[in-house]
Amino acid sequence: MEIFGGDKRLVYSSYFPDLRPLLYSALYKINRPCPHHLLSTVDRGESIEGVTEDSSLCLTPLLLVQITRLDLTWNMSIPSTPKDCQTTMEATDERYTKDGTTDVHGRPAVRKNTGNWRACPYILANECCERLAYYGMSTNLVNFMKDRLNQGNAKAANNVTNWSGTCYITPLLGAFIADAYLGRYRTIASFMIVYIIGLILLTMTASVEGLKAPCNHGVCDPTTAQTAVVFVSLYLIALGTGGIKPCVSSFGADQFDESDESEKKRKSSFFNWFYFSINIGALIASSVLVWIQNNVGWGWGFGIPAVVMAIAVVSFFLGTPLYRHQKPGGSPITRVAQVVVASLRKSGMDVPDDKSLLYEVADKESVIQGSRKLAHTDEFKFLDKAAIVTLEDKNPVSPWKLCTVTQVEELKSVVRLLPIWATGIVFSTVYGQMGTMFVLQGNTLDPYMGPHFKIPAASLSIFDTISVIVWVPIYDRIIVPLARRSTGRERGFTQLTRMGIGLVISIFSMVAAGILEVVRLRIVAKHNMYDSDAYLPVSIFWQIPQYFIVGAAEVFTFIGQLEFFYDQAPDAMRSLCSALSLTTVALGNYLSTVLVTVVTGITTRNGKLGWIPDNLNRGHLDYFFWLLAVLSLVNFVAYLVIAKWYTYKKTTDEEFDYGSSSELGTQG
């Protein structure tokens, strides 16, 4: 970058994104009213006439930087800085965010006019409505499969878990598109349209003649085509949610500048209230909408979620002028592949003991758009070979032969996340039982509250939601301050400690469900109700403890995962890593399907009914709950080992409040 005060010409290189706020401020004074046009011109490396000596005064301290092709050598001359100029530069610097975010027009984001909690209500309202729509059609879906598609318990449960799993796999696609090409805002906006189309089609399958399965005396007989349309609509919804799930929490977190301590603290609180908004939507869905589906009809029960989803779209777009945007950083998969290829090409070379000799750009910012530079870590040293500089690399530089330390550390960060990620799968399997086995268990219990009011079994998930709504403010306002006094850390607990507490709590949810099932089967035997269609003389409200315990576990583990995967992800891969955390829910559902299939296959040999027959009164669902409790315990032990080994990510210009190596996780 060179500024020549004498001939009034300014040439600006886009290697310096941090100078955009200063340039914007100066150029705005020079040529109103189109500074954004001037900045666009400057970004392209073109020249601008008309920079006066006065307007260039506060730019001169940043001058005379000449960079070689490798950005490794600098010639810098800094003239004296007038006091007024220094004050102006500091004021201008404080005016803008420092994390590279822009406003809706692509200009540097002004701190006081964008982001922070002023933008978050629109994101939280969008999430609340979207989750209301999702849970409004998914909470009772297993009963829709049984009643309208005439499927048995095991088949209906597997179809629901397979679909639900897909809803948590498609975020990988949405996240890739967001991080590489569209950015989070445009990805969310695009996929919401697909989502609404799926909801409208699902509503039609429950209300439009020809698409709706014909029923006679409560028994439905759908054609193959009608069943196919139901699944097409469901998987359109799964595709639509794939562009929203991985982006909306990250987009909300983008509204807080990590370089500002007060905003960084608010960001941690944002994840708690984000999950709180999810459960407000789920609360309405699991109570009001399930009741409508069971007592009014499936057409209304699915139509209302479609309308609510339209409200979510409106809410999201209303906040557009206030949002901060992180630019997409290009294909993260390509960058990962480049590190792998470059390290393999140099597999015979030794990594230098002096890590400063590894390749990194000399500029403050990373060459990866939207990403800060990452500090070197000592794990996975083989990958460091990709950053070894040779004479061959200098002319010219090929990203498939030489990668920056930041690019290498991106891949290391993802590799470090994978073991933690894997331990979330069993937890998600436990969580998934609320939509399948808990509902099937509840279908056999007395649902009446008084002589006339009947509680649908699927509505009991409302107590999971209530649990989350109760525990989020308790955690945020009571537990964290108490833990902060004890540990001295701003967050109270490390993120790994928080997730571990949730894993322990989840074990007790399966214990509670197993105990209830033992009691239920004893009552079946006592009253000889093995083949009775009547409800057992056991209130369905005895299921409340197992739902409530799952909710408490969510507050610790799921919210901890949201924050952990956003925080520990490389800046330019945050949507992708958020999607990675969501895939644990998908794989948890798939694992549940596998367990049900394997258990059914083994326990039905030699003509036996098995643990999970269509008539649960002749089964042993309690054994299945004990199995999940044991798996959860083993999973927690594995988690302790992995968490002890984990090293937290650090950028080159920032230190995080993570705790010492004596606790879960170590500092990098």
pLDDT for position 37? 41
pLDDT for position 486? 83
CATH 1.20.1250.20 range(s) for the chain read 114-330
Give the model confidence (pLDDT) of 416-435 as tens digits.
999 999 999 999 999 989 88
In the chain, % of residues over pLDDT 70 = 82
List, in order, residues 6 or more apart from 153 with CB less than 8 Å away.
146, 440, 612, 613, 614, 616
Contact 137, 199 (CB under 8 A): yes
Taking residues 508-532, report their average pLDDT: 93
- Residue 664's pLDDT band (cuts 50, 70, 90): low
CA distance 168 to 163: 9
Q: How far is CA 553 from CA 271, 424, 426, 580, in A?
A: 15, 12, 13, 20
Q: Which structure tokens are listed for 382?
A: 């083989």
More confident residue, 63 or 366: 366
Give the model confidence (pLDDT) of 560-615 as tens digits.
888 898 888 887 888 888 888 888 888 888 899 899 999 999 999 888 888 988 88
For 114-330, CATH gives 1.20.1250.20
- Its sign, for the CA torsion 604, 166, 142, 422, is positive
Contact 640, 500 (CB under 8 A): yes
Give the model confidence (pLDDT) of 470-489 as tens digits.
998 898 888 888 888 888 77
Q: Which structure tokens are listed for 633?
A: 């315990």
Question: Residue 502: is its pLDDT beyond 90?
Answer: yes
More confident residue, 358 or 69: 358
pLDDT for position 532? 86
Mean pLDDT for the chain? 80
Question: Residue 199: is its pLDDT beyond 90?
Answer: yes
Give the model confidence (pLDDT) of 602-648 as tens digits.
999 888 888 988 888 888 999 999 999 999 999 999 999 999 988 87
Predicted TM-score of the model (pTM): 0.71
Question: Residue 40: is its pLDDT beyond 90?
Answer: no
Question: Residue 82: is its pLDDT beyond 90?
Answer: no
Taking residues 393-403, report their average pLDDT: 80
CA distance 314 to 316: 5
Least trusted range by pLDDT, from 24-38, 88-102, 280-294, 545-559: 24-38
Taking residues 168-177, report their average pLDDT: 88
Question: Residue 658: is its pLDDT beyond 80?
Answer: no
Least trusted range by pLDDT, from 32-36, 68-72, 325-329, 663-667: 68-72
In the chain, % helix, strand, coil (3-state, to 5) comes to 65, 5, 30
pLDDT for position 665? 54
CA distance 473 to 488: 21
pLDDT for position 425? 94
pLDDT for position 185? 93
By C-alpha distance, which of 424, 578, 559, 427 is closest to 491? 559
CA distance 224 to 62: 70
More confident residue, 256 or 547: 547
pLDDT for position 23? 46
pLDDT for position 55? 37
- Residue 75's pLDDT band (cuts 50, 70, 90): very low
- Residue 213's pLDDT band (cuts 50, 70, 90): confident
